[in-house]
Structure 1
Amino acid sequence: MSTVSPSNTRWDDESGDREPDYRFTLANERTFLAWIRTALALVAGAVAVLHLVPLQWHHGLQLTVGLSLAALAVVITAYAPLRWFRVQRAMRRDRPLPTSPLPLVTAVGVALVCLVVVVGNYWR
């Protein structure tokens, strides 16, 4: 049976978890959706590089850039729900939010792809 504390926070007697303020839950959901949008943008970039934009690149370079973008999108898509769940669980248990490697992985991945594109434009 759930009870209501003076701050209108519901507590679950069985697990000790509490329902976080809905604004934090919605913010966590928006962050999850932002990661999914990022992955979709990377997929769009991969499709463009591999199939749509007529590039004068070496075929191996074009394949490397396209597949790297697609692989980064897969990593983000796989990790985003895990991150959402971990943050939600931390909020329910009133614990500090867990750190995530996702921003660093994304930044390094995009930087490497950019480096390959810049170097690839001069290596034909």
Structure 2
Amino acid sequence: MSKKAPSKFNASRIRDHLANERTYLAWMRTAVGLMGFGVVILRLPNFQPPEVPRLGISWKMGLLFASVGLITVLLSTIQYFSVRRAIDQDTYEPSDKIIILFSGAIALFGGAIIYIVFSISQRNIFFLQ
């Protein structure tokens, strides 16, 4: 039994490619959001009153978020073409690795942001009293 090559105009295959493209575009929106959030974090000290002490960590967190955004662009592009090839070859199997990787990274960064925000607010409360 020989395996028949999929037709180029198979409606199901076209839907699969379109779904892959929508997923890729969602990853791109996520990457742009991460980079934008990095810029906001970077600029955050400029919105504090001058008498409030600065932690000096916002530029590191901003750079980290922007870097993760760029890494997201790279990895999602690689994933897009990998899935595209698998759909064409009719060998696609979903992978949990990239989901676990980014979920863990965002949870870690979110925890760091929460810690920093509460540290700053606690320092501000004690400083202003």
Does TM, normalized by the shorter one, top 0.5?
yes
Identity between Structure 1 and Structure 2 (%): 25
Distance in 2, matches of 1:31 and 1:122, equals 34
Supply the AA of the counterpart residue of 2:86: A
Gaps in structure 1 of 5+ consecutive residues: 12-17
Higher helix share: 2
Which has the larger strand fraction?
1
Higher relative contact order (CA 8 A, sep 6+): 2
- Matched ranges for 1:13-92 at <5 A: 21-51=13-43, 54=47, 57-60=54-57, 62-92=58-88
Using the size of structure 2 for normalisation, the TM-score is 0.72
Q: How much does 1:21 deviate?
A: 1.8
In structure 2, stretches of 5+ residues that fail to align are 121-129
Higher Cα radius of gyration:
2
TM-score by length of 1: 0.75
Report SS of the residue matched to 1:74: helix
Q: CA RMSD in A?
A: 2.7
**Equivalent residue for 1:95?**
91
What SS class does the counterpart of residue 116 from structure 1 fall into?
A: helix
